[in-house]
Structure 1
């Protein structure tokens, strides 16, 4: 009963109406409802000075981290075709090439994406959201730097393609055992109930903006002067592009370290102020 009354009061900000509604369906009088057990009412509005004083840094952290991880994550998908060079591609028809690409994507998913989510599920209430997010950004940065710095001179060689695949899987594993999971969870745990969906939506929208900027930017930046792509301006090449992605991940580590609050073990009712 108290849970229902609390929830109604928090969302509607109308304790008396909640009490009257409960009186209609339960054998309890209005006088029996102890109002002081309800959390204190907070009358400040969304995007008010009081909101930004209490939750401004939280909204900044959630929004910026989601923006950063989606910028990197969707770029990672775009250069997937560079991981595996098909032999005798001129002799492959479109169907066989699609099958081979699907096999590669299935291997990546089975070896990195799915295990990353399972690791997050297991450890998120043991080591916390902030540590997982920091760790994810950090190891993603290492993977991108390792791929990018020696990309042209080392990773483009046929004999090194499997090492490239391993590093690529590491980046995807720590994306999911990291910010690609925690950025969905933290906004849902940091804000009062009446602001939670809105702040989560703002953070998610920032992520999609990052996905657009990252995808379009990477398509331009990743091809260098020696690559002939009709209709595209000359880019900066794969090495600088991948190193930029690594730098974006380092920014994510910094933002997470200094601005993201830990919500492990924290009751949602603690946010209702």
Structure 2
């Protein structure tokens, strides 16, 4: 224990893994379960929305969303998420992590339900309403990123902190999986109830009026897990690091953590004042001192998250088009609208089971053993390899769907056993407590800027290249997209060298918040990146 470290913080760092750790993981993680469900379920229903609202009576073929509408429906939630990450990240450092934690959850509940109740007199009116509510849904989701990460990092012990934060984020995989399963259940139920066969007549006749309920139910289900965890979030005490180091209330911090850890902790008011009076605890986000200590770190966390999310989110939203382009999904005219939802959901659920979910839990198991830096570097490397391996011999995969599925699943496996997890973990560890939530929000917002590039840019580009067969993208469009994503991952590999290793150190060691006035001690311990 450092002579300057508060007893309550040392107790948290040294605590053995206890029940409260797992409780915190579940409470914070269910927010991410909901986040992933809400963000990714939209890709399951975009084809259905096109068939319901944009059917062309003249040609009597299944309708598709116009490119601008498709891009808006898929990407507007990311715009809200970006805004929410910046706003709630800042608010979490100003008002406390807990005070705004419940607000984000209730916003998600209300907007999930409202999205399913979207209304309008015209198709464009329905889509506009849907986009409005999904923007505010994203705004609430955005707040969950910095708050959940910061709360978990400040509750965890230093030995297994990486695994605990990664476990919170790993709930995202279950959320993606749940989206596919809910879509499978709802679509198959409607197929059975209304006797809509898988190979019904093409066009509007294959889209029964009741299909309008399918997408609404799928969207509204996102409110259920968020609502179930609201009570437990409100019962969690504020983190000791916020209470002691920002709110300057060492008595409350000691009292809260005494209950959590079941030990007797004494308030150390004089030590708190001494720590807070040090120069290392006085600089702000836009100061030269912050730029000197953490400027490159913030550049590293923002750039790698931005590049990762271009690849990760565009790949997720692009799945249905890739599956169609390689012939894994039949043309829309050969099946009913609800059965098309079923086929898309089945494909995405298989990808989630094979690659997405296992990748998250490999990170949880190994992050505190091999380190954040190594996992992130390895993940970007293999994502680059597999993207190019899919793109360069692209025509080969058209006749080898099983091979394509395996390779495509591996890109998701190494995204999650790689930068998709570590970009979430590291910003919650390497910045000072008074700026931790803000800096995590900035890093996450950079990621969502990448998601916007992926959803608006790649999705629009793919739908702009149409074949005569109902607007599906040309193979060359998919190939070029995969090539660009491979190059993006390669850049992520290079920018990873700006990201420090934080394995096995206390948060105060990493940020230098225990430093005294001695100028020689003011270089933080995360300035060195491990050699590879």
Equivalent pairs, count = 261
- The 1:110–1:22 alpha-carbon spacing in structure 2 relative to 1, beyond 3 Å, is closer
Match of residue 203 from structure 1? 443
CA distance in 2, matches of 1:139, 1:119: 15
Q: Per-residue displacement from partner, 1:123-153 (whole Å, max 9, x unpaired)?
A: 10010001101111111111110111122x2
| Aligned match for 2:314, one of 41, 56, 75 | 75
Q: Structure 1 residue 11 and structure 2 residue 246: aligned?
A: yes
Match of residue 120 from structure 1? 363
Match of residue 90 from structure 1? 333
Q: How much has 1:64 moved relative to structure 2? A: 0.7
- Quick check: 33-42 or 92-101, which moved more? 33-42
Match of residue 264 from structure 1? 503
User: 2:318 touches 2:459 (CA, 8 Å); kept in 1?
Assistant: no
Q: Structure 1 residue 50 and structure 2 residue 289: aligned?
A: yes
Q: RMSD in angstroms over aligned alpha carbons?
A: 3.3
- The 1:93–1:235 alpha-carbon spacing in structure 2 relative to 1, beyond 3 Å, is closer
Match of residue 493 from structure 2? 253
Extract unaligned runs of 5+ from structure 1.
none
CA distance in 2, matches of 1:193, 1:113: 32
Match of residue 405 from structure 2? 165
Match of residue 187 from structure 1? 427
| TM-score (normalised: structure 2) | 0.45
Q: How much has 1:35 moved relative to structure 2? A: 6.3
- The 1:66–1:11 alpha-carbon spacing in structure 2 relative to 1, beyond 3 Å, is same
User: 2:7 touches 2:266 (CA, 8 Å); kept in 1?
Assistant: no
Extract unaligned runs of 5+ from structure 2.
1-5, 10-239, 256-263, 514-532
| TM-score (normalised: structure 1) | 0.83
- The 1:89–1:230 alpha-carbon spacing in structure 2 relative to 1, beyond 3 Å, is closer
SS in 1 for 2:358: helix
CA distance in 2, matches of 1:260, 1:27: 35
Match of residue 387 from structure 2? 144
- The 1:29–1:261 alpha-carbon spacing in structure 2 relative to 1, beyond 3 Å, is closer
| Aligned match for 2:302, one of 63, 69, 80 | 63
